[in-house]
A = this chain, B = another copy of it.
Amino acid sequence: MDRLSLNQITTKAWSLPEAVRGCAEAGVGWIGLWRDKVAEVGVDEAARLVREHGVGVSSLCRGGFLTGVEPDGSPVDGVAMTKEAIGEAARLGAGVLVLVVGGIAGNDLAASRQRVADAVGELAPLARERGVVLGLEPLHPMQCAERSVLSTVDQALAIAAEHPADAVGVVVDEFHVWWDPRLAESIAAAAGRIAGFHVCDQLVPLPDPLLGRALPGDGPIDHRMLRARVEAAGYTGPIEVEVFNAELWRQPGDEVLAKVIRAYRDHVAG
């Protein structure tokens, strides 16, 4: 239980103070924060709250959009946005900033991927200086066009490996990568580079590209096997439960957190 982290998106109905207090009261020692929720109270107050409640910040979501386009296609300076996010992560004591690298720009997949690699090269020294690891998170291929031209652990590792391990790592999120036939090999190859492990399940049938997630145990993913793989690759840090699910989002935060704890106990831990 000491590795369980609540990714804040899972309890979307909760504000940051409610989520931090909820974790402390439930004995959950870690939380993954989102920048929009942090902004509602301010970075300093958020940092104070997690310290006061003794809750560790496993990661901050998120930097990225390094291809220069938002999911809706509008232009964005992802490098500038990520520099800001690195500073926030440092102030919050988050060791990892999760990067969603951005979707395809100009209908050129190869060039978009190169832009990501170049931008990570530009950002890595700053991240290292601030004590924050950039966590490259491959996203499910169904989000390739809009959110992430990195789709596999292999790809994320290829970029991370160009930089020191305390500057750039790989975040393994089960929902995004469970189907990958090369997953076992690529996680093993990422030994010493895994900066985060996110668990959740997939709804079957998959209703929607974004909200098709479920609590661990409610879908086809073998969580204990994947946990064993990331552990064999040296990752023993916090395990975030991160579930985008419209039905869960309508429920009160404390009820959702109780379900998270149960799902983690029954399907991930032990």
* A222 in complex: contacting residue of B73, B109, B113, B206, CB < 8 Å: B109
- State whether the Cβ of A270 lies closer than 8 Å to any Cβ in chain B: no
When distances are taken between beta carbons in the complex, the residues of chain B under 8 Å from A155 are: 181
Q: How far is the CB of A186 from chain B (nearest CB, A)?
A: 11
Tallying the copies of this chain within the complex gives: 2
Q: List the one stretch of A45-53, A129-137, A142-150 in contact with chain B.
A: A142-150
CB of A180 within 8 A of chain B?
yes
Cβ of A152 within 8 Å of any chain B Cβ, yes or no, is yes
A202 within 8 A of B: yes
Consensus secondary structure, chain A interface:
loop
In the complex, the answer to whether A141 meets B205 with C-beta atoms within 8 Å is no
Q: Which residues of B contact A182 (CB under 8 A)?
A: 154
Which residues from 100 to 144 on chain A have a C-beta closer than 8 Å to any C-beta of chain B? Answer: 103-104, 107-109, 113, 140-144
Tell me the A residues contacting B by CB distance below 8 Å. 71-73, 103-104, 107-109, 113, 140-146, 151-152, 154-155, 178-182, 202, 204-206, 208-209, 212, 219-222
